[in-house]
Amino acid sequence: MFVKLQDCDECVTDGSLFRVPSVAYSIEGKASTEKRTGELVKEFIHDVKREVKEEKKKMKGELDK
């Protein structure tokens, strides 16, 4: 895991390999257009409840026939 390679076996050259450091960054704050996670969950629950009510009405209508 901590092996430092310097020689390339593919092109048979010595000292041709070097490590490129990765750059870590973070984004401060969120874009104002994004919804908060809680709001998204509440919307989903509301939609599902509405669909369940509609399905119950549909099923009751089929039983009354």
Got the DSSP string for 7-61? SBTTTTBSS---PPPP------S--TTSPPHHHHHHHHHHHHHHHHHHHHHHHHH
pTM above threshold 0.95: no
7 vs 1, 13, 16, 40, CA distance in Å?
17, 6, 6, 52
Per residue in 12-63, pLDDT (tens digit) is 777 777 777 777 777 776 666 667 778 888 999 999 999 999 999 888 887 7
Is residue 35 within 8 A of residue 44, CB to CB? The reply is no
